[in-house]
Amino acid sequence: MSFEGKRVLITGAASGIGQASARLFAEEGAHLILLDRDEAGLHATGKTLPAETLLLTVDVADEQAVRAAVQEAGERIDVVINSAAILANWGAPHEIPEELWNEVFSINLKGVVYTCRHALPLMRAGSAIINMASVCGVTRACTNRAPYNIAKAGIVAFTRDLAATYGPRGIRANTLVPGFIDTPMSRRLVQGHEEQARAEEGRIPLRRLGQADEVARAAVFLASEAASYITGSTLFVDGGIALV
């Protein structure tokens, strides 16, 4: 699955699935354009990647910043991986303040829209978009996380729309749905709830958490020629948790 000569833009690249995706695409020879609002984390990631990797400190909730970053990326983008997101235990829906709803939607959903909106004019036939959703909001009601759930469900619908709209131009769009993945964000989430987290892990048919690179490998596949006739699909990388 060589990506030699391909330009791959990844959001949320400072850690977790975005970071793992950056490393795998780099191994396949891709030229990387990495976006994240965590400047220190982004540059730490960059130190492990080829020197020509473009590192851009961007909050995807800021459309003008996203537009400027895409313009800096060059005249062509071959692959877009939307991985940027925030997550916490915010409480019941009626307890969540308006500003938090807006922040989550702006990053987790509108950030995906903004990145696609400005990258698509630079994408040609054979290009691919992979958007990260979650079992939360797609197959499961993860309590105390309503804004996250709604945003992730919206990503599935948006990606299908992209696939139908841009398929005639030869541009594919697919959704990845990770389950419970061991990432810095998920570790922060379970602090103080370790017993509940162990119980959830025990319900996964494969009886373990997923790893970020397992999701990243699925992203590399969907972006590759091996998936050239796959678009509008929703691929679960969840250890089977959607089954129970």
**CATH, residue 61:** 3.40.50.720
- Report if residue 100 sits inside a domain: yes
Alpha helices in 5-110 (DSSP H): 16-27, 39-46, 63-73, 98-104
Amino acid identity, residue 205?
A: P
pTM for the predicted model, two decimal places: 0.95
- Report if residue 1 sits inside a domain: no
SS3 readout for 53-64: CEEEECCCCCHH
Could you give the count of Cα atoms lying within 13 Å of 139 in the half-sphere of its Cβ?
17
**Residue from 30, 34, 33 nearest 6 by CA:** 30
Helix (H, G, I), strand (E, B) or coil at 91: coil
Please answer whether residues 10 and 25 qualify as being in contact, where contact means their C-beta atoms are separated by less than 8 angstroms.
yes
Total domains in the chain come to 1
Write out pLDDT tens, residues 101-120: 999 999 999 999 999 999 99
Q: Which of 33-37, 51-55, 89-93 has the lowest mean pLDDT?
A: 89-93
- Report if residue 55 sits inside a domain: yes
- Choosing from 114, 148, 166, 229, the catalytic residue is 148
Write out pLDDT tens, residues 162-217: 999 999 999 999 999 999 999 888 777 777 767 777 888 899 999 999 999 999 99
Q: Which of 57-61, 81-85, 86-90, 238-242 has the lowest mean pLDDT?
A: 86-90
Host domain of residue 79: 7-243
Average pLDDT over residues 147-167: 98
DSSP 94-139: GGS-HHHHHHHIIIIIIHHHHHHHHHGGG--TT-EEEEE--SBTTT
| Interatomic CA distance for residues 123 and 120, integer angstroms | 5
**Averaged pLDDT score across all residues of the chain:** 95
- Report if residue 57 sits inside a domain: yes
**What's the Cα-to-Cα distance from 86 to each of 54, 204, 222, 229, 231, rounded to whole Å?**
23, 23, 24, 32, 26
- Report if residue 2 sits inside a domain: no
Cα 25 to its chain centre, rounded Å, is 14
**What's the Cα-to-Cα distance from 11 to each of 21, 64, 114, 143, 228, rounded to whole Å?**
10, 15, 11, 26, 23
H/E run at residue 157: helix 146-166
pLDDT, residue 112, reads: 99
Active site residue 166: no
pLDDT, residue 190, reads: 73
Please answer whether residues 235 and 218 qualify as being in contact, where contact means their C-beta atoms are separated by less than 8 angstroms.
yes
Please answer whether residues 61 and 112 qualify as being in contact, where contact means their C-beta atoms are separated by less than 8 angstroms.
no
Give percent above pLDDT 70 in the chain. Answer: 99
